[in-house]
Structure 1
Amino acid sequence: MEYIYGALLLHTAGKEIDEENLKKVLEGAGVTADEARLKSLLESMKNVNIDEVLKNAAAAPVAAAAPAPAASEKKEEKKEEKKKEEKKEEAESDAMAGLSSLFG
């Protein structure tokens, strides 16, 4: 991904996307550039109109985030959790009482 990000950075800066410039960007980011990957990316981007791709990507629908639960829902959840805890404690005490009856 860093190779693509580097190419997009060069494009945004108005610089030519070539092997030398992309290698400088990657090395500036602390990435050791792999010559084969550089050449492969540059070859695959030869006939790509980056502006058009970005325009289409921006028009793609974005999934909406789920709405946060209302305060009343949170209170109900807390009440349910307390009820579950109480039931669990009751079940544990019943089990202990049952065990103690075994030993007299």
Structure 2
Amino acid sequence: MKVRFRNRERGLAGFKKAGVLGLAVLLLLSFCGCSSSPQTQGAGQAAVELKLAHFFPGTHPAEMELIQPWANAIEEATNGQVKITSYPNQTLLQADAIYDGVV
């Protein structure tokens, strides 16, 4: 039994049109996100302090080799405007209460 598709070319053209339309919308939205607006240097803004609670011990490689260098890099990249304080070993919140403590 042979299956015949009517308007096969028309169906493919519809997919192509939808793809082009989707791509156009995506490009439009991405260009809207890149609009040029005046940027502030943050000189008059107060510094932001973030608290990072986790369950790893303070001597764990995740704390020593990942979290602390990352927090220092963020502070350096923002010229001290963003400071991240790490609270290892469940010192700020217990592991099962971290999610509820944030939300």
Which of these two proteins has the greater Rg computed from alpha carbons?
Answer: 1
Class of the TM-score when normalised by the shorter of the 2 chains: under 0.3
More helix by share: 1
More strand by share: 2
Q: Scaled by the length of structure 2, what TM-score is found?
A: 0.24
Q: Scaled by the length of structure 1, what TM-score is found?
A: 0.24
